[in-house]
């Protein structure tokens, strides 16, 4: 069974940094896409980072690539999201997800964590 439990929740001030981690125990070879999404109340979940496990290929939306980076720690078996130069608008619930196909749509991912809250204040 796939187990996704996000960690690293916290608060930061603008221009600060936070690092989120998602242990990916039990990820099968079919669930080769690990993704971070974020969501604010009343809004859709939007992807903020993706990792292709099979080929070790990270991806971040163009709008975030200067500030966010995704990596996989194989030794710890975690998917990590490094967020720098934080802005108030980065405040959201962040979710780790895993799926079998590449997609930016939350509905295409089969496995989800419960989310971890990130709050950025000015």
Distance, in Å, from the CA atom of 11 to the CA atom of 28, rounded to the nearest integer, reads: 33
> What is the reported pLDDT for 31?
76
Q: What is the mean pLDDT of residues 25-34?
A: 76
Strand partners, 111: 98
Instruction: Determine contact, residues 96/4, Cβ cutoff 8 Å.
Output: yes
Under the banding of pLDDT at 50, 70 and 90, the label for residue 24 is confident
Percent of the chain whose predicted confidence (pLDDT) is above 90: 72
């Amino acid at each position: 069974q796939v187990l996704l439990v996000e960690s690293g929740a916290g608060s930061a001030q603008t221009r600060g940094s936070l690092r989120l981690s998602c242990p990916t125990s039990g990820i099968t070879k079919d669930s080769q896409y690990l993704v971070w999404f974020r969501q604010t109340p009343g809004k859709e979940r939007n992807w903020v980072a993706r990792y292709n496990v099979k080929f070790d290929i990270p991806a971040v939306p163009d709008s975030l690539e200067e500030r966010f980076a995704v990596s996989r720690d194989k030794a710890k078996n975690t998917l990590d999201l490094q967020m720098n130069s934080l802005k108030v608008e980065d405040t959201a619930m962040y979710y780790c997800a895993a799926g079998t196909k590449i997609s930016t749509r939350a509905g295409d991912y089969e496995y989800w964590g419960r989310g971890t809250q990130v709050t950025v204040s000015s």
